[in-house]
Amino acid sequence: MITGKVVLILGANSDVAKQAIKLYAEQGCHVIAASRSTDELAVFVQQNIQATGQVTILYFDAVAFDTHQLFYNSLPAKPNIVLYAAGYLKNNEDAIQDWDACFRMMKVHYCGAVSIINIIIADAGNSGLERIIGLSSLSGVRGRKSNFIYGSTKSAFTQYLAGLRQYIAHRNITVNVIVAGYIRSKMTAGLNLTESLMLEPLFIAKAVVKPAKRFTIVPGFKWKMIYYILKLLPEQLVAKLP
Answer yes or no: is pLDDT of 40 > 70: yes
Rounded CA gap, 233 and 110, in Å? 26
87-96 contacts at long range (C-beta below 8 A, 24 or more positions apart): 87/11, 87/14, 87/135, 87/187, 88/187, 89/150, 89/187, 89/188, 90/149, 90/150, 91/147, 91/191, 92/145, 92/146, 92/147, 92/148, 92/149, 92/150, 95/149, 95/150, 96/149
Model confidence at 66, in pLDDT bands (50, 70, 90)? Answer: very high
Q: Are 217 and 133 in contact (CB under 8 A)?
A: no
Instruction: List pLDDT tens digits, range 211-236.
Output: 778 999 999 889 899 899 888 878 87
**pLDDT score of 239:** 73
Instruction: List pLDDT tens digits, range 85-144.
Output: 999 999 999 999 999 999 999 999 999 999 999 999 999 999 999 999 999 999 898 888
Model confidence at 195, in pLDDT bands (50, 70, 90)? Answer: low
Answer yes or no: is pLDDT of 3 > 90: no
**pLDDT score of 44:** 95
Burial 5-31 (b: 16+ CB within 10 A, else e): bbbbbbbbbbbbbbbbbbbbbeeebbb
Model confidence at 188, in pLDDT bands (50, 70, 90)? Answer: low
Q: What is the pTM of this model?
A: 0.92
Model confidence at 192, in pLDDT bands (50, 70, 90)? Answer: low
Instruction: List pLDDT tens digits, range 14-31.
Output: 999 999 999 999 999 999
**pLDDT score of 196:** 63
Rounded CA gap, 16 and 21, in Å? 9
Q: Which fold has domain 6-238?
A: Rossmann fold (3.40.50)
Listed by start position, the domains of the chain span 6-238
Tell me the pairing of strands 131-137 and 55-59. unpaired
